[in-house]
Amino acid sequence: MPREIMWTDSEEIGIQLQEKFPEIDPLTVRFTDLHKYVTELEGFADDPTKSNESRLEAIQMAWHEEFEDAKG
């Protein structure tokens, strides 16, 4: 069973989003879509209503870092 993921686990979420959506540039993703992607991750166990702009931005930046690393 995967570890439970919370909104504050931005680095782990970024890694998982990169693995799940390797073709998507995170900087093109709207926060409404990002929220949906995160809440649908396996292991996500936080309250979906507890997200906010700063948490989503941190997740987007973590995902972007993984995206850039994957490009080489």
Domain-wise residue ranges, the chain? 10-71
Residue 2 pLDDT:
64
What is the pLDDT, as a whole number, of residue 1?
56
Asked: is 10-71 a CATH 1.10.287.3510 domain? The reply is no
DSSP secondary structure string, 13-49? HHHHHHHH-TTS-GGG--HHHHHHHHHTSTTB-S-GG
Residue 3 is predicted with a pLDDT of 83
Mapped onto helix, strand or coil, the DSSP state of residue 52 is coil
Q: What is the reported pLDDT for 34?
A: 98
The token pair at 55 is: 């948490």
Asked if 42 contacts 3 with a C-beta cutoff of 8 angstroms, the reply is: no
Total-model pTM = 0.94
Print pLDDT tens along the chain (72 aa): 568 999 999 999 999 999 999 999 999 999 999 999 999 999 999 999 999 999 999 999 999 999 999 998
